[in-house]
């Protein structure tokens, strides 16, 4: 379904429907806005209503050039109003993590709890933000602004070594839908990824101290895309946080923690 926002933009929304706990899933970068099969199956087994949406310039969603991380909160507020959902939990994977955190910080009366998986931490100079990334060239270009990141996209190539053997095993089996979706999103154009990266590499517009809901930070110890230092930073700066470090997981294989992370949300 499409949700029309107050400013006239359209957002592509997918919703499994049903009752029980509602969990809003924020996709990584890039994506098309579909719900991945392993997520749907895990949610159905737990009686969870799962909702996701394509961020601007992804899938069928309208562009919103110059967006920042905080803009996700107002988009989500309008989506949930349209669906008639007052309170919900949220989960964010990789590039979806910052947007999930924005919702928790800026919609405190609606977000009851949240999970990040392999999430980017806020860009800051208190530590080496790029340390441990196998390929940081896209984010370094984004830190110079949208024009630099757009130029980079013209010759950008994915480096397979960014993923570990466990990542590739996940992509070739239970989490193949993530890789397939990323390929489709990439073929559709780079605009969504450009906007995501530029938003990550500048001030997010809120402080993690504003996040009052319980936060579960799930991080792969062998992640070469978003290194463990990011998960550690998030844990130390969210007041009600818990870290699940999965030492043998990389950037994709960490998604295998989703079912138990949903159990954590339900327990709250």
Inter-residue contact 211 to 92 (CB < 8 Å): no
Domains of the chain in start order, with CATH, are 2-267 (3.40.50.1820)
Of 62, 60, 48, give the one whose Cα is nearest residue 91: 48
pLDDT of residue 127: 87
Of 119, 108, 105, 111, give the one whose Cα is nearest residue 28: 119
pLDDT of residue 129: 96
| Number of Cβ atoms within 10 Å of the Cβ of 259 | 15
Query: Using CA atoms, how far apart are residues 13 and 264, in angstroms rounded to an integer?
Result: 25
pLDDT of residue 126: 86
pTM score, whole prediction: 0.97
HSE-CB at 1 with a 13 A cutoff on CA atoms is 13
pLDDT of residue 189: 96
pLDDT of residue 78: 98
What is the mean pLDDT of each successive set of 10 residues along the chain, which is 268 residues long?
A: 97 95 98 97 98 98 96 98 98 98 98 98 92 97 98 96 98 97 96 98 95 98 98 97 98 98 96
pLDDT of residue 121: 98
pLDDT of residue 159: 96
Inter-residue contact 27 to 33 (CB < 8 Å): yes
């Amino acid at each position: 379904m499409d949700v029309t926002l107050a400013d006239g933009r359209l957002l592509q929304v997918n919703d499994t429907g049903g009752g029980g706990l509602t969990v809003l899933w924020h996709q990584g970068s890039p994506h098309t806005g579909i719900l991945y099969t392993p997520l749907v199956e895990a949610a159905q087994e737990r009686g969870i209503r799962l909702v996701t949406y394509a961020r601007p310039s992804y899938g069928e969603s309208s562009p919103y050039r110059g967006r920042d991380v905080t803009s996700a909160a107002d988009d989500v507020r309008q989506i949930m109003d349209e669906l008639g959902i007052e309170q919900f939990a949220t989960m964010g994977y990789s590039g979806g993590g910052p947007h999930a955190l924005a919702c928790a910080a800026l919609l405190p009366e609606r977000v009851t709890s949240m999970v990040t998986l392999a999430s980017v931490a806020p860009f800051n100079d208190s530590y080496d933000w790029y340390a441990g990334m196998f390929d940081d060239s896209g984010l370094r270009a984004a830190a110079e602004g949208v024009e630099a990141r757009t130029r980079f996209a013209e010759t950008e190539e994915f480096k397979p070594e960014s993923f570990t053997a466990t990542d590739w095993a996940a992509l070739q089996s239970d989490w193949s839908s993530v890789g397939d979706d990323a390929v489709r999103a990439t073929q559709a154009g780079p605009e969504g990824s450009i906007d995501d990266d530029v938003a990550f590499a500048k001030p997010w517009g809120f402080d993690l101290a504003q996040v009052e809901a319980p936060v579960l930070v799930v991080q792969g110890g062998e992640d070469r895309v978003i290194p463990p230092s990011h998960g550690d930073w998030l844990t130390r700066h969210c007041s009600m946080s818990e870290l699940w470090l999965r030492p043998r997981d990389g950037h994709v294989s960490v998604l295998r923690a989703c079912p138990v992370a949903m159990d954590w949300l339900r327990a709250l």
